[in-house]
Amino acid sequence: MEDRNIVLCINCGGAYKQGQLNCPYCQAENRREAQRRKKAKLDAYDNEARQMEQNIVSRVVKTATRVLLMVAAVLVVGFLIATIVAAVAGPMVAGKEQRQKQAHMDAMDSFLEIGDYGGLSTYMSEEHIGRYAGYDKYTQITELYQSLEVIRFWKEQLDRDQSYRSESDLLKWQRGWCENLIGEAMYYMPESRTYINDRVVLGNEQHLEILCEQVWEELLELKLTREELLDLSRERSVEEWDAACTHFGQLI
């Protein structure tokens, strides 16, 4: 029976044990053993390469996982800090805004106490306080006061024109100033009534009444009756407007 552990040298015919790389008699190479060892070495290289690849992938996954966990931790910490800051600073900011608003309201009420509507208008303009800041009570007053000032301005223009315009130009210029004055009066009177009679009681009705009375006094100086002034405030056609301007100019 042939012994598979015995190799016959193809060079000298000597017998020797499998596993030896060279013939012990003539030193010829054992090709089968050489191929086996070569294959074993290549297989080892392949196994090592696969192991290295697995290790690299594993390290990348672990690194990415750590980075993601760190990012998630930073986000969570940032969110918690932002929440705490908002919880602490929110009431402080709201309180500061409320105190500032109350300071504005106290200052504006001080103008109303002495009837200084001009001072109120100037204060609101300088502090950039508008209608949408929750100051409707004061905005209504300043809007009507500014209209009153416009009416006074047009009256001054009428008086000034009479002092130095020639008689031929006087009627033409008076007509223009009258149109502007009537237009402002037509806006002021219905608007003031709307503010005074609005459904929301703002506590400014008395001041609005005072301003309305001042407008009446300014317009009555132009030789118009209250009935004629009320008639000016209603809607009218182009022809009626033209006739009213002409009549108004003639009265002045």
Supply the pLDDT for residue 242. 64
Calculate what percentage of the chain has a pLDDT beyond 70.
76
Supply the pLDDT for residue 58. 81
Supply the pLDDT for residue 136. 86
8 SS3 class: strand
| pLDDT of 1 strictly over 50 | no
Of 171, 115, 104, 159, residue with least CA distance to 141: 115
Of the two residues 93 and 206, the one the predictor is more confident about is 206
| Least confidently predicted of 91-100, 131-140, 238-247 | 238-247
| pLDDT of 52 strictly over 80 | yes
Strand partners, 6: 17
Supply the pLDDT for residue 160. 66
Strand partners, 64: none
Supply the pLDDT for residue 118. 92
Q: Where are the domains of the chain?
A: 115-251
Query: What contacts 24+ positions apart, CB below 8 Å, involve 104-112?
Result: 104/129, 104/135, 105/135, 105/138, 108/135, 108/138, 112/138, 112/141, 112/204, 112/207
| pLDDT of 191 strictly over 50 | yes
Mean pLDDT, the chain, rounded, equals 79
- 3-state class percentages of the chain: helix first, strand second, coil last, to nearest 5: 75, 5, 20
Mean pLDDT in residue range 215-226: 74
76 burial (CB, 10 Å; 0-12 / 13-18 / 19+) is exposed
Of 96, 186, 187, 105, residue with least CA distance to 139: 105
Supply the pLDDT for residue 109. 92
Q: Give tens-digit pLDDT for 98-134.
A: 888 889 889 999 999 999 999 999 999 888 887 666 7
- Cα separation, 172 vs 150, whole angstroms: 20
Of 147, 217, 222, 223, residue with least CA distance to 186: 147
Q: Which residues does 219 contact at the CB level (< 8 Å), separation at least 6?
A: 151, 185, 229
22 burial (CB, 10 Å; 0-12 / 13-18 / 19+) is middle
Q: Give tens-digit pLDDT for 53-78.
A: 888 888 888 888 888 888 888 888 88
Calculate what percentage of the chain has a pLDDT beyond 90.
7
- Angle ∠(222,224,229) on CA atoms, nearest 5: 115
pTM for this prediction: 0.53
Of the two residues 234 and 220, the one the predictor is more confident about is 220
Supply the pLDDT for residue 46. 84
| pLDDT of 11 strictly over 80 | yes
